């Protein structure tokens, strides 16, 4: 067992990856909060927020839900949801 790993139910959980993922989620959340302060265009702000939603969703699916080791069907379903919802919102917004 390496430094930064815990054993839970005979499975090593890489705490370093979880910590890095957590910091990335916090950073993306802060960017999303302050994005409207630095970008004048409302459309660019909304598109930026939707990209951040997709990135955060991918991090949650792969790191915290650990679906990067799950059967490909489940990972694909969850990741497609993360892409499709912001895409549908974008289409509705632009219509």
Residue 13: helix, strand or coil by DSSP? Answer: strand
CA gap 20, 18 in Å, rounded:
5
pTM: 0.73
Give the range with max mean pLDDT: 3-7, 11-15, 30-34, 60-64: 30-34
Q: Return the structure tokens found at 68.
A: 């990067």
Sign, Cα dihedral of 49, 74, 64, 5: negative
- Indicate the pairing of strand 11-14 with strand 5-8: antiparallel
Mean pLDDT of 63-87: 89
Q: In the structure, what pLDDT confidence band is assigned to residue 47 with cuts at 50, 70 and 90?
A: confident
Mean pLDDT of 4-17: 60
Question: To 5 degrees, how large is the angle CA 22–CA 24–CA 27?
Answer: 110
């Amino acid at each position: 067992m390496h430094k930064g790993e815990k054993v839970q139910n005979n499975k090593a959980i890489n705490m370093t990856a979880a910590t890095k993922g957590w910091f990335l989620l916090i950073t993306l959340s802060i960017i999303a909060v302050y994005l409207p302060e630095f970008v004048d265009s409302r459309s660019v702000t909304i598109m930026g927020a939707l990209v951040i939603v997709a990135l955060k969703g991918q991090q949650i699916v792969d790191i915290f839900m650990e679906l990067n080791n799950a059967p490909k069907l489940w990972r694909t379903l969850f990741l497609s949801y993360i892409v499709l919802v912001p895409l549908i919102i974008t289409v509705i917004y632009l219509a």
